[in-house]
Structure 1
Amino acid sequence: MIYIILSISCSVTVAILLKLAKRYQISIIQAVTVNYLTALILCFLFFKPDTSLISSAAPWPVYTALAILLPTIFLFLAASVKRLGIVKTDIAQRLSLFIPILAAYFIFKEDFNQYKLAGLIVGFPAIFLTFIRKSERQPTAGNWIYPIMVFVGFGVIDVLFKQIALHKALPYTTSLFVVFSMAFVVSLVVVSIMAITKKTKIQLVNLACGVILGLFNFGNILFYLKAHQALAKNPSTVFAAMNLGVIVVGSLVGVLIFKEKLSKINYLGLLLAVAAVILITLSQIYAV
């Protein structure tokens, strides 16, 4: 369980760092760029990817899509944490698991059992109730776009990573190294253009924050994979503990440390989110 605890801690820490970025006027795009550089270096050191296996037969369209989506959705994640807080953003990110579930049914023609269907039925109201801001009289469409993009974006990313996992010619960690490398290049191009057009100024503090962000971002992935290796016979345990842990710990951090305001309706949404993850976990345990 230590790996699950470490993975949860790293995931929530990433959200905390993004929350603090506004306070210290950190350039998110610069931090995200260095984050991917840090992640790919750590990926090389820990996973020792065999780059000689990379060829034209690799799933390059999937790699390219991920290279663009990862930094893009990371920016939406940061904006969501900034505008709506850690609690609502973590729930949006964790409930994005519904996207690959729906893809499995409609695209890959997998069967649904009663628990999976119940999880989806409970989960979508959870998203709606969690994001409602009762105190606001103005339309919240401008704020909704960020968690919605987090929800859809991380869901699509999950589907694409599952596609990579199905490509047996390349080890998953080698593909991960390629994706991080391409995501870094995409981010670097964006930062370079912004620097040349003077829309951003390269500062050492942003680069330092990017290294820290990359450490925890990679740590989340590393410990999650190790948890699955340690509990290879109980993948549903890892799935449930990780998703529930991030929702619960993220909520406690948001409410107790950052004093994020939640209405009774939001708390109901939080409870439904927990119930949805439990139901999806049961669907894996009782899958036939």
Structure 2
Amino acid sequence: MMYLAFSILFSSLIFVVFKLYAKYQVQTIYAIITNYFVACTVGILYYKEPINLGDITQKSWFWGSLALGLLFIVIFNLMAATSQKLGVSVASVATKMSLTIPVLFGVFFYKEELSILEVFGIVLALLAVYFTSLKKNKIKAEKWAFALPVLVFLGSGIIDTSIKYFQDAHMPEEEYALFSATVFASAGIFGLFFIGFKSTQQQLKVNLKNIIGGICLGVPNYFSIFFLLKALQHPTWNSASVFTINNVAIVMFSTLLGIILFRERLTVKNWFGIGLAIFSIVLVAFGQRLMTYL
């Protein structure tokens, strides 16, 4: 439970940092790439064993970690495009509703069993994400732009599912830090290729604010993944419960942080979504136990 709480906390802090980027005019793409190298460094420092690059390439999860790094960069750019074309709330809903993919993967691939209350809780969780993210402004965009949230949904779901798969099939616990560091290093390297291509179109400028922004993002970003891997080891919770609680609690907690830190105003539907989120978390977390009393 503690590991899951830490994952939720650090993931929510990521949204706070993104919010501060707009306030201090930090260029997101450069800060994001810096953040990947910072997160990689944190992982290396957190790993207690000697590191040999040749040994890392022999790990069964190595090529998968490279693919995940590439996916991180691709999904980030799709999320940015979704936010710009359709709004932040649409990107948030697409990202968090992707929890259905790892949930279904756990049920069909790992034969995880869900109680009726847990299934009901997951359905409420999806509704909670939707209502919490609703905004008053109507969306006007080209028809092709509505394919973006679908791609974000699929990509985010694949990332979460892959993390669970590698954690379960290819990694002892002592390699969590090394795996996370390798994923972030891969994302950073692919990000450099992206910037290199972009610099052929416009001049690249090194900005101290972008570097500081990357450092502030990199630390919580690393621990959000690291503690999620630890939470997936919970002896009584299945992966469906972990991903549902994690994603819904992040939406709920980051929304509350927006109210406290940035004085954001919520609609009645947003508050209804937060209420649904709390109720869904209770059902998913304690559904098995509650069924024994019914």
Assess same fold via TM > 0.5.
Answer: yes
- Does the CA contact (< 8 Å) of 1:90 and 1:250 recur in 2? no
- Does the CA contact (< 8 Å) of 2:245 and 2:284 recur in 1? no
Q: Which residue in 1 is equivalent to 2:222?
A: 218
2-side partners of 1:103 and 1:173: how far apart? 24
Q: Which residue in 1 is equivalent to 2:17?
A: 17
Match of 1:119 among 118, 121, 127: 121
Secondary structure of 2:45's match? helix
Secondary structure of 2:264's match? coil
- Does the CA contact (< 8 Å) of 1:37 and 1:181 recur in 2? yes
Secondary structure of 1:54's match? helix
2-side partners of 1:159 and 1:97: how far apart? 9
Q: Which residue in 1 is equivalent to 2:26?
A: 26
Deviations 1:135-159 (A, max 9, x none): 5375798997776655543322110
Distance 1:282 1:155, change over 3 A: farther
Indicate the RMSD between aligned Cα atoms, in angstroms: 3.9
Deviations 1:240-277 (A, max 9, x none): 88556534431222234324343222322332233333
Once the 2 structures are TM-superposed, how far is the Cα of residue 235 of structure 1 from its aligned partner? 5.7
1-side partners of 2:251 and 2:223: how far apart? 18
Once the 2 structures are TM-superposed, how far is the Cα of residue 23 of structure 1 from its aligned partner? 2.7
1-side partners of 2:282 and 2:142: how far apart? 29
Match of 1:72 among 71, 74, 92: 74
- Structure 2 gaps, min length 5: none
1-side partners of 2:2 and 2:119: how far apart? 31
Match of 1:191 among 177, 190, 195: 195
Question: TM (normalized to structure 1)?
Answer: 0.76
Secondary structure of 1:216's match? helix
2-side partners of 1:216 and 1:155: how far apart? 21
Once the 2 structures are TM-superposed, how far is the Cα of residue 173 of structure 1 from its aligned partner? 3.0
- Does the CA contact (< 8 Å) of 2:249 and 2:281 recur in 1? no
Report how many aligned residue pairs link the two structures: 284
1:209 correspondence with 2:207? no
Q: Which residue in 2 is equivalent to 1:267?
A: 271
- Does the CA contact (< 8 Å) of 2:14 and 2:220 recur in 1? yes
1-side partners of 2:129 and 2:265: how far apart? 16
Deviations 1:107-154 (A, max 9, x none): 444333212321233233333333443453757989977766555433
Query: Matches of residues 1-288 of structure 1 in structure 2 within 5 Å?
Result: 7-48=7-48, 50-51=51-52, 53-56=55-58, 58-76=60-78, 93-136=95-138, 138=140, 151-168=153-170, 171-198=175-202, 200-222=204-226, 239=242, 246-283=250-287
- Structure 1 gaps, min length 5: none
Distance 1:110 1:66, change over 3 A: same
Q: Which residue type is aligned with residue 116 of structure 1?
A: E
